[in-house]
Amino acid sequence: MKERNEAALVPQEEKDRQQGFMDEVASLGGGKYEIVTYGCQMNVRDSQTLAGLLEGMGYRPAARREEADLILFNTCCVRDNAERRVFGNVGHLQAQKKANPRLVVGVCGCMMQQEGVPEKLLKSSPFVDLVFGTGNLYKLPELLLSVLKERRRRVLVDQNPMAPIAEGLPASRHGGVQAFVNIMFGCDNFCSYCIVPYVRGRERSRAPEQILAEAEDLARQGVQEITLLGQNVNSYRWSDGTDFPTLLKRLDGVVPRLRFMTSHPKDLSDELIETMASGRSICKQLHLPVQSGSNAILQSMNRRYTAERYLELVRKLRAAMPDIGLSTDIIVGFPGETDDDFEATMELNRLVRFDSAYTFLYSKRQGTKAAAMENQVPEETMKERIYRLIAQQEAITQEKLRSMIGHELEVLVEGPSTRDENAYMGRTDAGITVNIEAQGLRPGDFALVSIASAGMNTLRGTVKCVRSR
Ligand code: 5AD
Ligand code: SF4
- Assign residue 433 the CATH number of its domain: 2.40.50.140
- Report yes or no: 361 and 334 within 8 Å, Cβ to Cβ: no
Pair (368, 413) in one structural domain: no
Q: Where are the alpha helices (DSSP H) in 321-468?
A: 339-352, 379-402
Pair (240, 325) in one structural domain: yes
Residue at 164 is within a domain: no
Domain total in the chain: 3
Which residue, 402, 434, 456, sits at the end of a domain? 402
In sequence order, the β-bridge partners of residue 453 are 460
Q: How far apart are CA 299 and CA 291, in angstroms?
A: 11
Pair (345, 461) in one structural domain: no
Residue at 7 is within a domain: no
Pair (260, 327) in one structural domain: yes
Give the per-residue pLDDT at 1. Answer: 42
CATH code (residue 135): 3.40.50.280
Ligand 1 centroid to Cα of residue 191, in Å, is 9
Task: With CA atoms as reference, report the closest residue to 138 among 49, 61, 42, 12.
Answer: 49
CATH code (residue 295): 3.80.30.20
191 Cβ inside 6 Å of ligand 2: yes
Pair (398, 429) in one structural domain: no
Give the per-residue pLDDT at 67. Answer: 94
Give the per-residue pLDDT at 252. Answer: 98
Q: Which domain holds residue 273?
A: 178-402
Q: How far apart are CA 50 and CA 135, in angstroms?
A: 12
Ligand 1 centroid to Cα of residue 432, in Å, is 23
Ligand 2 centroid to Cα of residue 273, in Å, is 21
Ligand 1 site-directed mutation target among 79, 290, 297, 345, most atoms within 8 Å of CB: 79
451 Cβ inside 6 Å of ligand 2: no
Q: Which residues contact 124 (CB under 8 A, 6 or more apart)?
A: 87, 91
196 Cβ inside 6 Å of ligand 2: yes
Residue at 430 is within a domain: yes
Ligand 2 site-directed mutation target among 110, 199, 200, 231, most atoms within 8 Å of CB: 231
Q: Which residues contact 266 (CB under 8 A, 6 or more apart)?
A: 303, 304, 305
Residue at 142 is within a domain: yes
Give the per-residue pLDDT at 4. Answer: 65
Give the per-residue pLDDT at 7. Answer: 85
Residue at 39 is within a domain: yes
Pair (417, 379) in one structural domain: no
Which residue, 349, 371, 402, sits at the end of a domain? 402
Pair (388, 315) in one structural domain: yes
193 Cβ inside 6 Å of ligand 1: yes
Which residue, 402, 419, 453, sits at the end of a domain? 402
Atom of ligand 2 nearest to the CA of 231: 6
Q: What residue's CA is closest to ligand 1, atom 13?
A: 329
363 Cβ inside 6 Å of ligand 1: yes
Residue at 5 is within a domain: no
- Report yes or no: 179 and 173 within 8 Å, Cβ to Cβ: yes
Pair (97, 228) in one structural domain: no
Residue at 169 is within a domain: no
Atom of ligand 1 nearest to the CA of 368: 10
Ligand 2 centroid to Cα of residue 104, in Å, is 33
330 Cβ inside 6 Å of ligand 2: no
Work out the number of other CB atoms within 10 angstroms of the CB of residue 455: 11
Task: With CA atoms as reference, report the closest residue to 5 among 208, 171, 196.
Answer: 208
Residue at 361 is within a domain: yes
Q: Which ligand is nearest to the CA of 287?
A: 1
Per-residue pLDDT of the chain (469 residues; tens, 9 = 90+): 455 688 899 999 999 999 999 999 999 999 999 999 999 999 999 999 999 999 999 999 999 999 999 999 999 999 998 888 898 999 999 999 999 989 999 999 999 999 999 999 999 999 999 999 998 999 999 999 999 999 889 999 988 999 999 999 999 988 899 999 999 999 999 999 999 999 999 999 999 999 999 999 999 999 999 999 999 999 999 999 999 999 999 999 999 999 999 999 999 999 999 999 999 999 999 999 999 999 999 999 999 999 999 999 999 999 999 999 999 999 999 999 999 999 999 999 999 999 999 999 999 999 999 999 999 999 999 999 999 999 999 999 999 999 999 999 999 999 999 888 889 999 999 999 999 999 899 999 999 999 999 999 999 999 999 987 6
Pair (421, 441) in one structural domain: yes
In sequence order, the β-bridge partners of residue 184 are 205
Pair (74, 202) in one structural domain: no
Pair (247, 108) in one structural domain: no
Pair (438, 336) in one structural domain: no
